[in-house]
Structure 1
Amino acid sequence: MITLAEVLKEYSSEVAIGPVDLEIPRGGITALVGPNGAGKSTLLTMIGRLMGMDAGTIEIAGYDVASTASKDLAKIVSILRQENHFITRLTVRQLVAFGRFPYSKGRLTVADEKIISEAIDFLDLDALENRYLDQLSGGQRQRAYVAMVLSQDTEYVLLDEPLNNLDMRHSVQMMQHLHRAAEELGRTIVIVLHDINFAGHYADRICAMKDGRVAEFGPPEEILTDDVLTRVFDTPVRVIDGPNGPLAVYY
């Protein structure tokens, strides 16, 4: 479980994230949604300790994020931010191997190599593992970064807009991979998404944020309603019955 208690990040007297009180259960996918500037990515990076808090506490599986040693925290939670992607003369396998650093400190063992191969195979990258990142499409690179995070072998995985710059087909494929990771690998995934319909279809829980606060939290069927989405996004939203569940229509 991820527990946030009175978490606050102040940028000025008028701009702040929180205070946030939230419990994210273990297992499945929890999607953070909301309008631009709602605080989704800030909250995710505070959970992953890539940004400090001004007040409050965050615990992951009982470990205090602020006080747990980095070497120990890196074996509990992994995070992929959208802005820390880089394209360089690394192969896919070399990139994915970075996920093993908390364990190997750069000296890969046979066990590390096995986990790296499993992550590559899981994301269907085995045919590309010796290709350089700058030779890949955007969708292929995105899968490689997610494979790197999975190879870190943490139960808790934080992903900041992994669908960013992906077309519809690759977005669907990415969400299918993440759903499999939650189901088959037992990962607890917290993901920032812009598309409410992807959240509604693939997430087990949705946390809707607005103005730096949690506006709503619950299963998709409770969040995907006309009233909730219209209030959260400040624009008319109609939820209709789709072939595989509710669909939000906005215009």
Structure 2
Amino acid sequence: MIAVEKITKTYGSSVVVDGVSITLPKGGVTSIIGPNGAGKSTLLSMVGRFLSADSGTITVGGLDVTKTPSDELAKRLAVLRQDNHLAVRLTVRDLVSFGRYPHSKGRYTVEDERHVNEAIAMLGLSGLADRFLDELSGGQRQRAFVAMVICQDTEYVLLDEPLNNLDIKHAVEIMRLVQQAARRLNKTMVVVLHDINMASTFSDVIVAMKNGQIVASGSPAEIIQPDLLSQIYETEIKVVPVGSRLVAIY
């Protein structure tokens, strides 16, 4: 499980994450939702050790993220950030291969190649494997970065807005893959999402944030409620049942 205890992050006089404590269950898909500036990505970045907290503790699978050596943590935790910018020109295969570095330390093996090929195929990139990233559309590049994270083959995966630049078809495919990885491989997937209905459809747990704090957490049935969502997003939101899921209408 991921345990966050009294985590705070400030920038100058602005409190971005304000004394957050929460335990995210092992296994399944947990989505973090909330308006812009709620602290979602900052919280995820601290769990992934891309940002240091001003106070509090974070453990992932029992490992303290501030004290665990990077190579050890990278075998347990994979992270996809929003700002994926590379200074070098890489092919899709080159990028996805980076996901194996924590395991092989650059000594590429047959097992590594199998993981790379499987991840490329999962994301529908087989026909683009030898294309350079700067020759791809934004959505294709995003899928390549997701493939890299999947290729790392960790127990815990953090995805910060993985649906950016994706059309509906590929956004749904990514979320189905996230759900399958959680259910079939017993991975713990934590996803920051702007799309409430994607969270409703594919999550086991939803965490709702606003103003740097956690407003509510629970099952989709508990969180996808008109009064709660209207309060969080400060706009009228209706909720209607569609089949077995709840859909938010803005």
> Do the aligned partners of 1:74 and 1:102 also contact (CA within 8 Å) in 2?
yes
Q: What CA distance in whole angstroms lies between the structure 2 residues aligned with 1:134 and 1:183?
A: 34
Partner of 1:154: 154
CA distance in 2, matches of 1:242, 1:88: 46
Contact 1:80 1:158 in 2 (8 A): yes
What do the CA deviations read for 1:60-93 (whole angstroms, capped 9, x no partner)?
0000011111111111101011112448531111
Return the letter of the residue paired with 1:207: V
CA contact 2:76–2:156 (8 Å) conserved in 1: yes
Which residue does the alignment assign to 1:39?
Answer: 39
User: What's the offset of the Cα at 1:170?
Assistant: 2.0
- Letter aligned with residue 17 of structure 2: I
Q: Which amino acid aligns with 2:28?
A: G
Q: For 2:189 and 2:199, how far apart are their aligned partners in 1? A: 12
Structure 1 length-normalised TM: 0.95
**Structure 2, unpaired ranges of 5+:** none
The amino acid that maps onto 1:32 is I
State, as a whole percentage, how many aligned pairs show the same letter.
52
Higher mean C-alpha displacement, 163-172 vs 46-55: 163-172
User: For 1:60 and 1:6, how far apart are their aligned partners in 2?
Assistant: 15
Per-residue CA deviations over 1:175-203 (Å, capped at 9, x if unaligned) read 12222222222221101100101100011
* 1:106-148, Cα deviation, whole Å (9 max, x unpaired): 2211221121112122222222212222222222221111110
- State the number of aligned residues: 250
Partner of 1:133: 133
Gaps of 5+ in 1: none
The structure-2 alpha-carbon separation of the partners of 1:73 and 1:218, relative to structure 1 and needing over 3 Å to count, comes to same
Q: Distance in 2 between matches of 1:176 and 1:239?
A: 22
Name the counterpart of 1:235: 235
2:60 is aligned to: 60
Question: For the residues of structure 2 that align with 1:246 and 1:188, how far apart are their CA atoms?
Answer: 23
1:167-186 aligned at under 5 Å gives the runs 167-186=167-186
Equivalent-residue separation in structure 2 for 1:174 and 1:238 (angstroms): 26
Amino acid at match of 1:238: K
Partner secondary structure for residue 107 of structure 2:
coil
1:244 to partner: Cα distance: 4.2
RMSD after superposition:
1.4
